[in-house]
């Protein structure tokens, strides 16, 4: 016969261990994010070196954050390498894990392996497409475009609002001289945007094009939204914080304001829709977990009333929403395509009321494209 | 008493050996010609199959009579699949097989810069004039060998099931273009189709 006191003691140790483990999971990730937003990209990259100190369950987040950090350090080859690992991991994790599900059933969703929201899975390919285009690897960019299209087909409702990625896919087809696919993607994009037709100016003989990937702001983060039901049932679900849509981008060249082809995506809006789409999954798990926790508390209460109070308190504390997300993502992404004469150009790019970025000495090839990625 | 100690010791050694053997990393050699697939995606067995399928008929193609020994230049196979496939491996293998057959000659396009560097060096006065390679004597290609690798992927629709099925179809279109006329003088296609399934539930 096991003494109730020993049971409580063991339970307390187990709970403290779980709390400590879950609390420490993202320490290098949190530090790297904070360094990234304070502008020390090298330190942010260093903190995620080899993803040391990051739990296996958060490995995907580590790859995703590091991929973006390296992208904005202009280390496009290294960013590609890391984001390809993220892409492979997403595919490898595309399975329902019995261990994950069973531990989430009694603890919380935070103990599960992070698989990425549908939108985040798409943005891995979006950043890979940008990385490959910036390295002039057009075939590889097209491979990523096709993988992104598979996700659009799989989660059409969640991802329909991501116009930037769709326009990027069309651009990848354009680079490979596949006009039918370009037309199809532009038709889909026009439909999603609710406009009749969308056709950016083609690169003609004697002209060139500058393609800008403009990132603005910071994507909204997930926070916990809690509801308490009697007697001690705590429902804790993740919700995205409010964000603002991407500000307008203006481009000037030698004193003249240009009016190029622009397509923007509010990443926060797509992320929210994506999370909503997944709500049935985590709400079902919440309901099952609430039932399981209630049963555990009642079982403990059969032997000891104080024990039940103690167990209820611990199980209440343990209920925590999974607020993990890809936090270095921008709030908005804008694709800008500017037709220019071949040669060297100086440009000024401003986003809303924030600072102006000077792009000097951009070499536009005749009949070709030059690519730049900026973040405000 | 001593016997018990010995038995316990033997048991411990056996258990430790079993555990260590179970955890030990292993390596083994594979025959590159053996067909091994872990999933539906493209792998080295497919490369071998595609190359074999395309090279065999090319060696007896009437467009290239035995005595002519045409000179070919290989342009990379364009990857239009949804996987990052190094198509250089396919073109290299096709070229190797054709060179070994003795029916075709090839221009080494990837070594052009190095050839130029080396011949420039030889003609700068450092090399014995009798041994210098004369510039302007390189062979010109008669034909361009090019190709496109494509894939069509289909996944089983979302429904109640224990396994996720995936079908992939690959095709490699190979063509040989006459540089003088711009005409496609030879074309062939190799196809592969595969289905793989993966359990939806895992540990």
The DSSP string of A191-251 is HHHT-S---PPP--TT-EEEEEEEEES----EEEEEEEETTTEEEEEEEEPP--PPPPEEE
pLDDT on residue B179 = 96
Cβ-nearest to A95 among B79, B83, B202: B202
pLDDT at A25 over 60: no
Nearest to B202 among A97, A140, A143 (CB): A97
Q: Give the separation between CA B142 and CA B140, rounded to whole angstroms.
A: 7
- The answer to whether the CB of A266 falls within 8 A of the CB of A330 is no
Residue A74 or residue A243, greater confidence: A74
Question: Residue A267 pLDDT more than 70?
Answer: yes
Work out the minimum CA distance from A100 to partner chain B, whole angstroms: 8
At A232 the pLDDT is 82
pTM: 0.86
* Contact between chains at A96 and B200 (C-beta distance less than 8 A): yes
Which of B40, B148, B170, B202 has the most A C-beta neighbours within 10 Å, making it the best mutation to test the interface with A? B202
Residue A1 has pLDDT above 50, yes or no: no
Q: Which of A112, A141, A146 to probe the B interface (max B CBs under 10 A)?
A: A146
Q: What is the mean pLDDT of residues A329-349?
A: 96
Is residue A176 less than 8 Å (CB to CB) from chain B? Answer: yes
- Tell me the chain A residues in contact with residue B199 when contact means C-beta distances shorter than 8 Å: 95
Contact flag B200-A95 (C-beta cutoff 8 Å) = yes
Residue A22 confidence class, pLDDT cut points 50, 70, 90:
low
Q: Which residues of chain A have a CB within 8 Å of the CB of B200? A: 95-96
Concatenated DSSP letters for A70-115? HHHTT-HHHHHHHHHHHHHHHHHT-SEEHHHHHHHHHS-GGGSPP-
Q: Is a pLDDT exceeding 60 seen at residue A70?
A: yes
B-chain CB neighbours of A140 within 8 Å are: 84
Chain B environment of A176 (Cβ under 8 Å):
78, 80
CA pair distance B12, B196, nearest whole angstrom = 43
Residue in chain A nearest B198 by alpha carbon: A95
Shortest CA distance from B158: residue in chain A: A154
Closest-CA residue of chain B to A155: B158
Chain A stretch 10-39, residues whose beta carbon is closer than 8 A to a beta carbon of chain B: none
Confidence band, pLDDT 50/70/90 cuts, at residue A2: very low
- Average pLDDT of every residue of chain B: 88
Stretch among A8-17, A91-100, A350-359, B6-15 having the lowest mean pLDDT: A8-17
Q: Which residues contact A175 (CB under 8 A, 6 or more apart)?
A: A133, A138, A141, A142, A369
Please write the tens of the pLDDT for every residue from A312-326: 888 888 888 999 999
Q: What is the mean pLDDT of residues A338-350?
A: 96
**Which residues are CB-neighbours of A200 under 8 A, at least 6 positions away?**
A261, A337
Give the orientation angle of helix A59-72 with respect to helix A118-134, to 10 degrees. Answer: 30
Which tokens go with A354? 């924030």
pLDDT tens string A124-143: 999 999 999 999 999 999 99
Residue B118, min C-alpha distance to chain A (Å): 29
Is the pLDDT at A16 greater than 80? The verdict is no
Q: Is A131 on the interface with B (CB under 8 A)?
A: no
Tokens in use for A347? 């440009």
Does the distance separating the beta carbons of A142 and B80 come in below 8 Å?
Answer: yes
Please tell me the predicted confidence (pLDDT) of residue B19: 58
Mutate to test the interface with B, among A84, A94, A95 (most CBs of B within 10 A): A95
List, for residues A178-203, the tens digit of each pLDDT value: 999 999 999 999 999 999 888 788 88
pLDDT above 90: percentage of residues in chain A: 68
Instruction: Tell me the shortest Cα–Cα distance from B32 to chain A, in angstroms.
Output: 25
Residues of B with CB under 8 A from a CB of A: 78-84, 153, 164, 198-203
Mean pLDDT, to the nearest integer, of A163-176?
97
pLDDT band at A15 (very low <50, low <70, confident <90, very high): low
pLDDT above 70 covers what percent of chain A?
93
- The end-to-end CA distance of chain A, in Å, is 65
Q: How far is A53 from chain B (nearest CA, A)?
A: 23
Is A97's Cβ below 8 Å from some Cβ in B? yes
pLDDT at A23 over 60: no
Distance CA B103, CA B71 (A): 10
For the cut 70, the answer to whether the pLDDT of residue A5 exceeds it is no
The verdict on A146 touching B (C-beta cutoff 8 Å) is: yes
Q: What is the mean pLDDT of chain A?
A: 90
Q: How far apart are CA B106 and CA B109, in angstroms?
A: 9
What residues of A are in contact with residue B81 (Cβ under 8 Å)? 143, 146
Residue range A31-68, pLDDT digits in tens: 999 999 999 999 999 999 999 999 999 999 999 999 99
* Contact: A95, B82; criterion CB under 8 Å: no
Q: Which pLDDT value is given to residue A131?
A: 98
Residues in chain B with pLDDT < 50? none
């Amino acid at each position: 016969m096991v003494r109730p006191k020993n049971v409580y003691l063991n339970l307390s140790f187990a709970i403290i261990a779980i709390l400590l483990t879950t609390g420490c999971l993202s320490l290098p990730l949190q530090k790297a994010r904070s360094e990234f937003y304070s502008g020390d990209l090298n330190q942010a990259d260093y903190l995620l070196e080899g993803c040391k100190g990051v739990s296996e369950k958060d490995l995907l987040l580590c790859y995703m954050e590091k991929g973006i950090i390296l992208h904005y350090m202009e280390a496009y080859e290294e960013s590609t390498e890391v984001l390809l690992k993220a892409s492979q991991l997403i595919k490898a994790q595309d399975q329902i894990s019995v261990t994950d599900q069973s531990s989430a059933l009694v603890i919380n969703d935070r103990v599960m392996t992070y698989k990425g929201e549908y939108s985040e899975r798409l943005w891995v390919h979006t950043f890979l497409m940008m990385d490959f285009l910036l390295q002039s690897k057009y075939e590889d960019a097209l491979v990523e475009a096709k993988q992104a299209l598979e996700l659009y087909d799989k989660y059409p409702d969640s991802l329909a609002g991501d116009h930037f990625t769709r326009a990027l896919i069309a651009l990848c087809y354009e680079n490979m001289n596949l006009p039918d696919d370009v037309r199809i993607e532009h038709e889909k994009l026009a439909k999603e945007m609710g406009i009749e037709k969308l056709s950016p100016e083609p690169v003609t003989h004697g002209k060139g094009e500058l393609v800008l990937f403009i990132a603005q702001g910071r994507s909204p983060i997930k926070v916990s939204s809690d509801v308490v039901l009697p007697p001690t049932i705590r429902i804790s679900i993740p919700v995205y914080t409010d964000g603002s849509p991407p500000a307008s981008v203006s481009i000037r060249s030698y004193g003249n304001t240009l009016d190029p082809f622009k397509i923007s995506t509010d990443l926060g809006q797509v992320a929210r829709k994506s999370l909503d789409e997944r709500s049935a999954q985590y709400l079902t798990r919440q309901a099952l977990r609430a039932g399981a926790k209630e049963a555990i508390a009642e079982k403990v209460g059969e032997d000891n009333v104080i024990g039940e109070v103690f167990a209820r308190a611990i199980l209440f504390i343990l209920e925590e929403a999974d607020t993990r997300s890809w936090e270095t993502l921008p709030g908005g992404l804008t694709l800008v395509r500017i037709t220019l004469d071949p040669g060297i150009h100086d440009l000024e790019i401003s986003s809303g009321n924030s600072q102006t970025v000077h792009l000097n000495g951009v070499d536009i090839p005749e009949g070709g494209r030059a690519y730049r990625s900026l973040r405000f | 008493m001593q016997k018990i100690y010995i038995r316990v010791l033997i048991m411990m050694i056996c258990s430790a050996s079993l555990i260590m053997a179970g955890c030990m990393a292993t390596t083994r050699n594979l025959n590159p010609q053996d067909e091994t697939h872990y999933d539906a995606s493209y792998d080295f067995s497919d490369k071998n199959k595609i190359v074999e399928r395309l090279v065999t008929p090319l060696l007896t193609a009437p467009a290239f009579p035995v005595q002519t020994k045409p000179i070919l230049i290989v342009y990379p196979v364009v990857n239009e699949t949804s996987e990052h496939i190094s198509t250089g491996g396919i073109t290299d293998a096709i070229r190797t097989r054709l060179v070994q057959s003795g029916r075709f000659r090839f221009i080494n396009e990837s070594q052009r810069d190095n050839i130029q560097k080396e011949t420039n060096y030889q003609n700068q006065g450092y090399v014995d004039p009798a041994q210098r390679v004369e510039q302007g004597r390189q062979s010109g290609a008669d034909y361009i060998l090019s190709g496109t690798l494509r894939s069509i992927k289909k996944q089983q629709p979302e429904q109640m099931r224990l396994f996720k099925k995936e079908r992939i179809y690959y095709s490699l279109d190979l063509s040989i273009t006459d540089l003088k006329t711009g005409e496609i003088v030879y074309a062939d296609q190799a196809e592969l189709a595969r289905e793989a399934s993966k359990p939806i539930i895992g540990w």
